[in-house]
């Protein structure tokens, strides 16, 4: 039985992906930070799947979690790692403290790196395995007020590209998933953080109140998470997986606009 390990497995894309793989005969392992959601997801998936409490920003948590994972897989490690855990810190570059930037990168970038460095040795030793990093269209196209989040996803794009080339001699394949706006809890937490990060007397007050930063506008163009799960399935099972899977037409159009139009025009469209 093939095995997969998913970070951020208790909600949104992670939970949907776990359900899809379990339904198609894989054994699913994963982690989440909310103990209640961990228990709820375990109940939903049932035996022999197992989600456990683990914080990808905590070195000791990851160490203990990986010891558990190795025991559950008989020392082999998973066939596929899906780095998915992430969240959004929103706000103007000027308004976001360095601590907020550090927190954003600790989850969205260093969390991925911790998992890669923990699981990769077992894959390299076997000369097989797949690493799938859930990035975003934001890893290619930058939005105003999304600077910290976009920067974290740009970092994942660079790390994944380097890793893909480095691991070719070991037959370990690396793919990036680039969703557009999805129907996911990340939108609600992102907009909550936008208001939380809003300082008194900010020079950007009118932007906080403008249309592009209203949650209902994002929800109107959001797509179901099943589309991302299917892309992850393809990356995990294709004989020759792509380097990038761009999910939704909107994400593909945004990247084309950014690539081929003058900045003065693409900036206006994106903004």
Q: Which of 50, 41, 36 is nearest to 12 (CA)?
A: 41
Q: Is the dihedral of CA 118, 124, 128, 131 positive or negative?
A: positive
Among the options 112, 149, 204, 245, which is catalytic? 149
Residues 6 or more apart whose Cβ sits within 8 Å of residue 269: 257, 261
Q: How far apart are CA 174 and CA 123, in angstroms?
A: 12
Both tokens of 244, joined, read 């990038």
How buried is 134 (Cβ within 10 angstroms: 0-12 exposed, 13-18 middle, 19+ buried)? buried
Q: Which of 19, 70, 12, 21 is nearest to 224 (CA)?
A: 12
Largest CA distance in the chain: 57
208 belongs to the catalytic site: no
The set of catalytic residues is 149
């Amino acid at each position: 039985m093939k095995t997969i390990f998913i970070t951020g497995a208790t909600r949104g894309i992670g939970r949907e992906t776990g359900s899809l793989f379990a339904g198609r005969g894989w054994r699913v392992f994963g982690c989440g930070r909310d103990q209640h959601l961990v228990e709820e997801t375990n109940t939903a998936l049932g035996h022999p799947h197992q989600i456990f409490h683990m914080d990808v920003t905590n070195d000791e948590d990851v160490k203990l979690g990986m010891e558990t994972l190795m025991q559950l897989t008989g020392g082999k490690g998973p066939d596929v790692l899906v780095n998915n855990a992430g969240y959004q810190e929103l706000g103007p570059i000027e308004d976001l403290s360095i601590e907020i930037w550090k927190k954003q990168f600790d989850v969205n970038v260093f969390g991925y790196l911790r998992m890669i460095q923990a699981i990769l040795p077992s894959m390299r030793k076997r000369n097989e395995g797949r690493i799938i990093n859930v990035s975003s269209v934001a890893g290619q196209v930058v939005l105003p007020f999304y600077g910290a989040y976009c920067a974290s996803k740009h970092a994942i794009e660079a790390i994944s590209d380097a890793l893909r080339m480095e691991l070719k001699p070991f037959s370990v394949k690396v793919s990036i998933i680039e969703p557009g706006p999805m129907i996911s809890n990340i939108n609600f937490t992102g907009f909550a953080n936008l208001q939380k990060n809003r300082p008194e007397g900010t020079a950007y007050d009118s932007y906080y109140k403008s249309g592009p930063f209203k949650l209902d506008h994002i929800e109107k163009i959001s797509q179901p998470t099943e589309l991302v799960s299917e892309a992850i399935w393809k990356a995990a099972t294709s004989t020759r997986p792509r380097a990038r899977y761009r999910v939704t037409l909107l994400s593909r159009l945004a990247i084309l606009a950014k690539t081929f139009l003058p900045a003065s025009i693409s900036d206006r469209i994106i903004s």
